[in-house]
Structure 1
Amino acid sequence: MTYRPSTAHADLGPAFFDVVAPARFPQHVLRFRNQRWAEAVGLGGLSDAQWISHFGQFEPLPDNLPQPLALRYHGHQFRSYNPDLGDGRGFLAAQLVDGEGRLLDLGTKGSGQTPYSRSGDGRLTLKGGVREVLASTLLEAFGVYTSKTFSLIETGEQLMRGDEPSPTRSAVMVRLSHSHVRFGTFQRCLAHNDSDGIAALVAHCIRHYHPQAARGGDVAKEAAALLAAVSQATGALAGEWMAAGFVHGVLNTDNMVVTGESFDYGPWRFLPRYEPGFTAAYFDQTGLYAFGRQPGAVAWNLERFAECLTLVAPVAELEDALRTYAGAFHEGLRRALCARLGLRQVDADTDDELAAAVFQFLLKSQAPFERTLFDWHGGLARRAFAMAGPQAHFYQGEDFARLEAALGAHEPVPPAPGAAAYFEGEGPATLLIEEVEALWAPIAERDDWSLFAAKLDHIERARVAHAIASRR
């Protein structure tokens, strides 16, 4: 892939961002470099010194944004509106165009203070960066449309935090994604009654992210078509999260983007066992963003996005567009769950029965979530493997009968090259909270990154074995 720079976000004009300067750090130690995605965007040939220059010191990439842009947005945080948001410890560092002609962003986390930092130091803890690497790589392996952690550089500062033993080590991270245009970007325009800003955002999003929503420049029709496209993309994402057993933790409107990508991994969790009320954030005391409430939380956020578009489009057309979400969610869940199980989709009713059978079994049996999907990847052809494994006692009796029948109604897809090495091997790649803490402990205590590297190797084997065609 050839490097293809872009400055598309700057075309929106200064009402949507502030030009900022990156922090200067006392040291730069490269801890993670996503070489596979660097090659995919034409940056694989950078030396480590060049990498640090661009993604630790933030020297501009050639013909790219000459200075970083801190993006402006508002948002609902746990359903309370907050106008004092914006990029407070990150910025848009660069933009690229991929091989399909789609726009890509390189955005930062922990890159210093901006006009939106409020009382924050604009920094990221190294542990937070490590957790983001882990979450994004495992979600990608499971076929979730996620941002990719592109770079993690330790920066040599000591940070004070209330939720980590302090002082703690610092880092700066770069993520690769298709957009940082948030629902909250539109909400800021609504708060200012800025219909021209909404129209500009609609045109920008259609041009770069959802060209199928173009309606010949008719702003009202394009706004409704854009909402439908975003609803469908975000519905698919919610289905993918459920099939991955993933709890995002902070589904605020500033953490939802118009491309329907998952991003910004703070207090995330993967389910140990199926529990609809399982929460990721210790501060989510009401369970607003619990695992089973995620589809509803996403729908609520889409309604807030639709409210912004009422400045340029009729309410009735926007309501019609919102109705596409439910179908997109169910189809996304069907597709994602079949892919996780290595099975061909049959039809909506048969695939819905598989999903219902999976979740009913997991709820009743309390069998470990990921091991169950691992054991039955490939359907009933895996019976001998599953019954010889550590969960065999779960796969007997009445509780399993419905799932057994649903698995039998689906044919397996041909296994990917290298699938046997994973699915016949050491067990599923998992990231339960105790595993993450166990990976972090040797890094914190003696700068030993071997367990982290081994986990990433295991996740890569999972990605290759699943071979799920992501929406990228």
Structure 2
Amino acid sequence: MVSPDQPFIPAKAIDEIADFLADPVAAADFPEHRLRFRNDRAAAEIGLATMSDDRWIDHFGRFQPFDGSLRQPLALRYHGHQFRSYNPQIGDGRGFLFAQCRDGDGRLMDLGTKGSGTTPHSRFGDGRLTLKGAVREILATEMLQALGVETSRTLSVIETGERLVRGDEPSPTRSAVLVRLSHGHIRIGSFQRLATLGLTDELRRLTAYCLEHYFGEQDGPDAPQRLLAHTVRRTARLAASYMAAGFVHGVLNTDNINITGESFDYGPWRFAPGFDPDFTAAYFDERGLYSFGRQAEAIHWNLVQLAIALNPICDSDALAAAIEPFGDHYVDALVERFLWRLGAASQGRDADIARVQQIERDLTDSGASIDRYFFDARERRDHSYLSNPEPCSMLIEEVEALWAPIAADDDWSPLTAKIAAIRSMGEALRTA
């Protein structure tokens, strides 16, 4: 457990590779700064829970740098397969890496933004974020963390006073800038860019950086396959965690897969109302490429693209061997996640696998709510949350219902109450 009085420990490890990985940028100058959400629970992990609101706004609304961290924001460069079509014209178009620090466990953490202004990668975008989009990201990250998914956390949301025009919601609409707390922002697409451009020395440097700062290992001749093996294990667990949570990310492109296996970047996400493999989150996912039941397949495909990107600096047989255990890692993680959500003890691998398969059949055949099923079937019920008549859920109808009073009356109390309920559920799942 992280102490609430932990000091803020600045870092700037990214300076080692910023010359080829990022572009220095400046934050937008916003007309207003209204603090709407500060995550003191996450802030405590990096020594910022006691910061005053004024200083909070200075750092996370005006982006004044932290002493000892980055001198100015960095917009990261990357390519990516978007719905399996390669696109070299992407990168941080409305966000940047603002600061790095260490958490209470000594892990390198990134403070990254969304909606902080245009960058060299913005193309025709305005670099802004709608306030509704920020609220949706709060809800996604809070719910996923409670359900045991490794995820970025929404650290801060500040309303910025601009009026934005968007085609997918009533316009003009309110604007915000969001800050995420993440264990790294290096994506599969970061490696793809270097490989595509033939930058093999830089590819080796990025590989060494990731091994050292995210996995505590030193560089060496086998560094690429070791990095890939770590990412395979972590992302297999991520795919399994999505299934146990009933979550559909919606846009599992290679530029949205972090090499640490931490979920992030929440756009058209949905929680599935039932265990329907064909359920999709994004209206533009017409082929169901990233549907609920195909998320493991999508992540595996992305790992193959990482292996291809690493091939210029590593033997293909070694990379293939690193990917091969994905299926076993996924099954093991799926069992562990399902049993965790049930509050059930293991009965041995074969018996556990059979039990999870039966649960999946029961959910699919019955069409039952995923949240209701796990709530009713929980085997350890010694937490007050489990005495509630209904489980805590986050279907799209409730997301809209929570946004409505904010849009109409600037009433944030339903959102605040929902966050408290989500955190109570998370506590019950962790302790029961």
Q: Report deviation, 1:218.
A: 2.4
Q: Secondary structure at the match of 2:313?
A: coil
1:426, 1:6 → 2: CA distance?
46
Alignment-mate amino acid for residue 63 of structure 2? F
**What is the match of residue 303 of structure 1?**
304
1:236 equivalent in alignment to 2:237 = yes
Q: Secondary structure at the match of 1:157?
A: strand
Residues 99 and 420 of structure 1, relative CA distance in 2, 3 Å threshold: closer
**What is the match of residue 165 of structure 1?**
170
**What is the match of residue 287 of structure 1?**
288
Q: Report deviation, 1:86.
A: 0.6
* Contact 1:142–1:468 (Cα < 8 Å) also in 2: no
* Contact 1:339–1:468 (Cα < 8 Å) also in 2: no
2:90 aligned residue (70, 85, 89): 85
Q: Report deviation, 1:224.
A: 0.6
Alignment-mate amino acid for residue 227 of structure 2? L
**What is the match of residue 408 of structure 2?**
445
Alignment of 1:175-194 (within 5 A): 175-194=180-199
Residues 426 and 10 of structure 1, relative CA distance in 2, 3 Å threshold: farther
1:58 equivalent in alignment to 2:63 = yes
1:426, 1:224 → 2: CA distance?
49
1:144, 1:24 → 2: CA distance?
34
**What is the match of residue 106 of structure 2?**
101
Q: Secondary structure at the match of 2:156?
A: strand
**What is the match of residue 397 of structure 2?**
434
2:317, 2:273 → 1: CA distance?
42
* Contact 1:179–1:257 (Cα < 8 Å) also in 2: yes
1:138 equivalent in alignment to 2:143 = yes
1:468, 1:292 → 2: CA distance?
29
After superposition, the C-alpha distances for 1:315-372 in whole angstroms (9 at most, x for unaligned) are 0000000012111111111111111111112322111112111110011111111111
* Contact 1:231–1:325 (Cα < 8 Å) also in 2: yes
Aligned CA RMSD, in angstroms, stands at 1.2
* Contact 1:143–1:468 (Cα < 8 Å) also in 2: no
**What is the match of residue 44 of structure 2?**
39
Aligned length: 427
Q: Secondary structure at the match of 2:81?
A: strand
Q: Secondary structure at the match of 1:320?
A: helix
Q: Secondary structure at the match of 1:122?
A: coil
1:337, 1:266 → 2: CA distance?
26
2:345, 2:46 → 1: CA distance?
31
1:27 aligned residue (29, 32, 50): 32
**What is the match of residue 260 of structure 2?**
259
**What is the match of residue 18 of structure 2?**
13
**What is the match of residue 457 of structure 1?**
420
1:105, 1:445 → 2: CA distance?
34
Deviates more, 1:249-258 or 1:443-452: 443-452
For structure 1, the 5+ residue unaligned runs are 379-411
**What is the match of residue 346 of structure 2?**
345
**What is the match of residue 228 of structure 2?**
227
**What is the match of residue 369 of structure 2?**
368
1:176, 1:351 → 2: CA distance?
34
**What is the match of residue 249 of structure 1?**
250
What is the aligned-residue identity percentage? 52
1:358, 1:116 → 2: CA distance?
45
2:129 aligned residue (106, 124, 148): 124
Alignment of 1:195-206 (within 5 A): 195-206=200-211
Q: Report deviation, 1:420.
A: 2.4
After superposition, the C-alpha distances for 1:177-198 in whole angstroms (9 at most, x for unaligned) are 1010000000000110111111
Q: Report deviation, 1:211.
A: 2.4
Q: Report deviation, 1:468.
A: 6.9
Runs of 4+ in structure 1 off by over 4 angstroms are: none
Alignment-mate amino acid for residue 448 of structure 1? D
Residues 234 and 347 of structure 1, relative CA distance in 2, 3 Å threshold: same
After superposition, the C-alpha distances for 1:193-223 in whole angstroms (9 at most, x for unaligned) are 11111100110001001225x4xx423x111
TM-score, with structure 1 as normaliser? 0.89
Q: Secondary structure at the match of 1:337?
A: helix
Q: Report deviation, 1:426.
A: 4.0
Alignment-mate amino acid for residue 367 of structure 2? Q
1:165, 1:306 → 2: CA distance?
42
1:92, 1:29 → 2: CA distance?
22
**What is the match of residue 48 of structure 1?**
53
2:153, 2:273 → 1: CA distance?
24
For structure 2, the 5+ residue unaligned runs are 1-5
TM-score, with structure 2 as normaliser? 0.97
Q: Report deviation, 1:251.
A: 0.1
Q: Report deviation, 1:446.
A: 1.0
**What is the match of residue 3 of structure 2?**
none
1:79, 1:170 → 2: CA distance?
31
Residues 296 and 197 of structure 1, relative CA distance in 2, 3 Å threshold: same
Q: Secondary structure at the match of 1:94?
A: strand
* Contact 1:156–1:169 (Cα < 8 Å) also in 2: yes
After superposition, the C-alpha distances for 1:13-34 in whole angstroms (9 at most, x for unaligned) are 3111000000011111111100
Deviates more, 1:271-280 or 1:350-359: 350-359
